[in-house]
Structure 1
């Protein structure tokens, strides 16, 4: 259990690009990074408006001379300081991720990046290669994977409790954009603009979350090919989709399906993953993240609760309070940031043994997400045809 003891003997000097006062996601980055004293926020380029960014940074307690007008100045001037930042989080619109991430790595910084890393597989692989060359990690904020019961599912599947994996059913389908809400909401508007988000909306924004949950639970399972159909029910969003269906075939003969939608009226979130084997099934729902359903054919359903002693050790080590008390997304993100810090420190120390067996949403997870969206768009635009994943 996490009890406030720092996992490292230091706090990493940390900065942010984006995540300013109008950001939807900036606060959870800061809350997660600062919770376990693994990072100290020292600098940032918080807003595209330099003055607004300086004012916001000052309100966070960041020194005025370390609130920069843009990321280029941030990286350049921090590199000249003996106490300059060691890591940076990127919480900006999607179209900027590649350039900022590349510049950060070239400046010798570790990176935590919002997904997607970029728009093309070629760009994602370039970032992966640069990360390796610079011995700097890239962490990707697939925040839901920080919930402990995802690791419980991973452990149970690895033990063979489900038998041969046959079906993986995934969804992330909310209803909050069933109308053109972006017309009155600037923070939503850029998410449906191809200039900012690239070739997809819900496939990249929503679907890659349960896709990574499946990757975490089933690390040995690889996608062979997929087929995608996508729709723009709010017509002003075309060519970007607000609803999509994806079918997948895996290398072991299993099949998968994923429904992502922003127009599922009445649904709060609708993110679920169900893994079905020859012996039993597991199901997790992010609106009830402290429970995992375990269903053995012919037996009563078992509800496994977070924080209980019958769980696997890996599912218990990141609890922050005992079972029965609910933990949520802020705790899940904190777990990821704690892991990002440990990975960054191990990389700086050259501890390859730790990194080989240390799980976190890394650059390769980011590459897979970009490639998956690229293949889905390719399939949908070709009339929902099957396409090879590799």
Structure 2
């Protein structure tokens, strides 16, 4: 059961870049970070418009003087304060992630960033180098991996319950953008603009979520080759894709496929992962995140539920159970579980407790880097006629 008595000596002083009024993802960040009392929001550069930033910040309880017109001023002014921010979350369009994360790390701040972390592997490696040099944490908000049943799946695979892993079938294929809705939706418009979004749309925006589920469940499994085919069914989105299929060969002989789409008309979310082994299979669907389907060859299908005593006593599968079995937990709980892990790691890093940092699971710089690496390889394959490429 979740330990609500876990407290830091002092909550981490936290600031935000982006995520202002009307931002759904900004609200999720704040709800998750503030839920357990491990962070205190004290500053923000929430909006490119200074007046909107100040108005929003004061309405959510911040001091007017700490609602900044831009992130550079926030970093500069907060560094002068004895009670300045220690951590910053970045919830902006992709274009700004690298420059903002780099500036924050160079200012001595721990960073929690939306994905994709940046545009290129070289940029991600630079961030990793700066973070390691300055003994700072980088967290990447792969928000679905805070769900407990993902970690139950990891433990089942680790313990050999599925046998040898043969097939990994991943999808994240919704239908909300099956028409050109970006004409009247600025929140989508930047996602389908290469200068703002980077080299991909759905591969980077939602595809890396599904891929990272597989990485969490099977950390030893590595891609050796892949083939990517991507399409722009809404022509105005080209060269960015709104649909893609990726085939993968893994280092243990397993194969995988990923379907990622924003034009799966009629679908709500459809983020699923099915892992097929030589003895059994498991399947998880994010619209029913409290359950894990477990199918042993020759036996009836089983539905495993979050919070029950028959689950493995994994660090995340049980200890992040917040309200006991039977009640439905959701995305806010998943994100809160991640922010709790960020807080533990950051507090340990500040205190020089390297062992706790190393033993605390959270989506870290390596998760962000590998997401960018996956995007680069997919683009390289797709731009070469959907050829098979060795994974670099």
State the TM-score, normalizing by the size of structure 1. Answer: 0.99
Q: Is the 8 A contact 2:32 2:336 kept in 1?
A: yes
CA displacement at 1:222 relative to structure 2: 0.7
- Deviation of 1:358 after TM superposition, in Å, equals 1.7
Alignment of 1:49-64 (within 5 A): 49-64=49-64
CA distance in 1, matches of 2:10, 2:286: 33
Instruction: Indicate yes or no: 2:339 matched with 1:337.
Output: yes
Deviation at 1:10, TM superposition (A): 2.0
Q: Deviations over 1:86-145 (max 9, x none)?
A: 000000000000000000000000010000111001001111111111101000000000
Tell me whether 1:111 sits opposite 2:88 in the alignment: no
1:268 is aligned to 2:268: yes
In the alignment, the residues of structure 2 paired with residue 380 and residue 133 of structure 1 have an alpha-carbon distance, to the nearest angstrom, of: 36
> Whole-Å Cα distance in 1 between the matches of residues 324 and 341 of structure 2?
21
Query: Is contact 2:86–2:109 with CA below 8 Å preserved after alignment?
Result: yes
Equivalent residue number for residue 365 of structure 2: 363
Alignment match of 2:350 (pick from 343, 348, 351)? 348
In the TM superposition, residue 3 of structure 1 has moved relative to its aligned partner by 4.8
Q: Is the 8 A contact 1:24 1:187 kept in 2?
A: no
Indicate the RMSD between aligned Cα atoms, in angstroms.
0.8
**CA distance, structure 1, for counterparts of residue 243 and residue 324 of structure 2:** 38
Encode CA deviations 1:271-328: one digit per residue, 9 max, x unaligned.
0000111110110000000000010000000100001111111211001101110000
Q: Counterpart of 2:264 in 1: which secondary structure?
A: coil
Kindly provide the CA deviation profile for residues 309-364 of structure 1, in whole angstroms up to 9, marking residues without a partner as x.
11111211001101110000000000000000001011111211122222100000
The answer (yes or no) to whether the contact 1:245–1:257 under 8 Å persists in 2 is yes
Q: Contact (CA 8 Å) 1:7, 1:342: kept in 2 or not? A: no
Paired residues of 2:162 and 2:279 also in contact (CA < 8 A): yes
Partner residue in 1 for 2:65 = 65
Report what 1:239 is aligned to.
239
Task: Give, in angstroms, the shift of residue 22 of structure 1.
Answer: 2.6
Q: CA deviation at 1:188?
A: 1.1
1:1-390 residue pairs with structure 2 within 5 A? 1-314=1-314, 315-390=317-392
Equivalent pair of 1:173/1:264 in contact (CA under 8 Å) = yes
Q: Are 1:5 and 1:36, in contact at CA under 8 Å, matched by a contact in 2? A: no
CA contact (8 A) 2:233 2:243 kept: yes
Name the SS of the counterpart of 1:13 in structure 2. Answer: strand
Q: Is the 8 A contact 2:3 2:319 kept in 1?
A: no
Q: Is contact 1:22-1:187 (8 Å) kept?
A: no
- Report how many residues are paired: 390
5+ long unaligned stretches in structure 2: none
CA–CA separation in structure 2 for the residues paired with 1:23 and 1:48: 13
Distance 1:104 1:232 in 2: 35
Partners of 2:369 and 2:111 in 1: how far apart?
15
**Separation (CA, whole Å) in 1 of partners of 2:383 and 2:24:** 31
Name the CA distance, whole Å, in 2 between partners of 1:9 and 1:255. 47
Query: For structure 1, which segment, 17-26 or 362-371, has the greater mean C-alpha deviation from structure 2 after superposition?
Result: 17-26
Q: Secondary structure at the match of 1:8?
A: coil
Task: Tell me how far apart the structure 2 counterparts of residues 12 and 101 of structure 1 sit (CA, whole Å).
Answer: 18
Quote how far apart the aligned CAs of 1:368 are.
Answer: 0.1
Residue 269 of structure 1: SS of its match in structure 2? Answer: coil
Q: How far apart, CA to CA, are the structure 2 residues paired with 1:357 and 1:62?
A: 34
Assess if the C-alpha contact under 8 Å between 1:131 and 1:138 holds in 2: yes
Instruction: Give structure 1 stretches of 5+ with no counterpart.
Output: none
Distance (whole Å) between structure 1 residues aligned to residue 125 and residue 391 of structure 2? 15
